[in-house]
Amino acid sequence: MRGKKQPRLPRRLSRSQKRLILLLVVALLVIYRLWSWPRPSEPESLAEGEHIVTKVVDGDTFTVFPGVQVRLIGVNAPELLPEKGHSEPWAQEATDFLTDQFRSSSWRVRLQFDAVRKDRYRRFLAYGFVGDRFLNAELVRLGLAQYEPQYNYSATVKNVLRRAQEEAQRNRRGIWSAGKTRP
């Protein structure tokens, strides 16, 4: 049997090596489980009624608890563009108005929905109220947002928003004033 090497038998693992392997296997299982765990997703529904506002994004969008974005139906406020280093004219005023309204109500808003519940960005579309103030219409009436008739929502609300915009234009408020103009 000279010249032929005997196959080497595997060496027995020490107790500490066994523990290390067990620890690695457990760690890999935990990492796999966390990686494959369902990610928290946005809720498919949001109830009508009172909600707590957690963040104002801009003049027509805000977040309510638990992190759900809401866009006011039928209005378009100028955009805040901090990533570009500037904002559209009247964007800060529209954002400040919405912030002040929520602050005055202890950050509470009452939401009502129409037939279309979400936009293409998966934000909930709603009519917002602070007390008796209809925020969608107030933004337009103050010239801090434009009325958006092309979307699918209540004809009655469209008339309210159209009249609010006519009033803002007639009185040259906000975006309709001679000073800052919106493109």
Domain around 110: 49-176
15 within domain boundaries? no
163 within domain boundaries? yes
7 within domain boundaries? no
Query: What pLDDT, on the 0 to 100 scale, is given for residue 29?
Result: 72
13 within domain boundaries? no
Query: What pLDDT, on the 0 to 100 scale, is given for residue 182?
Result: 47
Active site residues: 71, 79, 123
Mean pLDDT of 163-170: 98
Judge contact between 74 and 141, C-beta under 8 A. Answer: no
For the chain, the average pLDDT equals 88
Tokens, residue 129? 């109220």
For residue 25, which phi and psi values (nearest 5 degrees)? -65, -45
106 within domain boundaries? yes
Interval 63-86: pLDDT, tens: 999 899 999 999 999 998 877 778
For residue 88, the domain's CATH number is: 2.40.50.90
Judge contact between 174 and 144, C-beta under 8 A. Answer: yes
What is the pLDDT confidence band of residue 43, given thresholds at 50, 70 and 90? Answer: low
Q: Cα separations (Å) of 156 from 49, 145, 162, 165?
A: 20, 18, 10, 14
43 within domain boundaries? no
Number of domains in the chain: 1
128 within domain boundaries? yes
Question: Within a 13 Å sphere around the CA of 149, how many CA atoms are in the beta-carbon half?
Answer: 10
Show the 3-state SS of 73-122: CCEECCCCCHHHCCCCCCHHHHHHHHHHHHHHCCCEEEEECCCCCECCCC
159: helix, coil or strand?
helix
Q: Is the pLDDT of residue 3 over 80?
A: no
Q: Is the pLDDT of residue 179 over 70?
A: no
Q: Cα separations (Å) of 102 from 133, 163, 170?
A: 11, 24, 28
Query: What pLDDT, on the 0 to 100 scale, is given for residue 181?
Result: 47
What is the pLDDT confidence band of residue 1, given thresholds at 50, 70 and 90? Answer: low
Query: What pLDDT, on the 0 to 100 scale, is given for residue 41?
Result: 53
Interval 118-166: pLDDT, tens: 999 999 999 999 999 999 999 999 999 999 999 999 999 999 999 999 9
3 within domain boundaries? no
Q: Cα separations (Å) of 76 from 5, 10, 30, 88, 161?
A: 83, 72, 46, 12, 11
